[in-house]
Amino acid sequence: MKAITMTLVTGKIKGLTFIEVLFVVIIIGILTIVSLPNFRKTFNNLQLKSFAQELQASMNYLHQRSVIEGKIIYLNIDDEKKEYFAKIKGNSERLRTYRIPNDIKIETEQKEILFYPDGSIDKVIIKLINLDNQNITLTTKGVFGGVKIQSQ
């Protein structure tokens, strides 16, 4: 198999020198170093948004289940253990346990949120914060039920 090379009119073979290749590698390295922090920040932001949507979906599910079953269901948030779980009031068995990503912190004054059979939810504000100090706030609509995501 023959190597593909360029031959000039003068008969000399043209190719890339070591310095030219090294220069290209250095440029690629600099671009990578400059862009890495942005990739990390973007990943953290996507993780935060994804978790906010997951928490909202979980809360909407519990809201609907409470109405369908006609029972009070509560959601307990434990930021220290990095989990939140749901239980039917009066029953010690957990319906489901969810993990909170290690890079996300939850701030709320009310660690227990009740979902009532009439469709209402305890009024609560939940603030999700990632390592880059970006935050998303979830709010419940109280008497009207439902959970809303507000980006900050």
Domains of the chain, CATH where assigned:
18-151 (3.55.40.10)
Q: In the chain, what percentage of residues exceed pLDDT 70?
A: 89
Q: What is the model's pTM?
A: 0.73
Per-residue pLDDT band at 7 (split at 50, 70, 90) = low
Q: Tell me the pairing of strands 105-107 and 94-99.
A: unpaired
Q: What is the mean pLDDT of residues 58-87?
A: 92
Measured CA to CA, the distance from residue 93 to residue 119 in angstroms comes to 22
Q: Which of 106, 95, 94 is nearest to 136 (CA)?
A: 106
Does residue 5 register a pLDDT over 70?
A: no
pLDDT tens, position by position, 87-119: 998 888 888 899 999 999 999 988 899 999 998
pLDDT, residue 9, reads 62
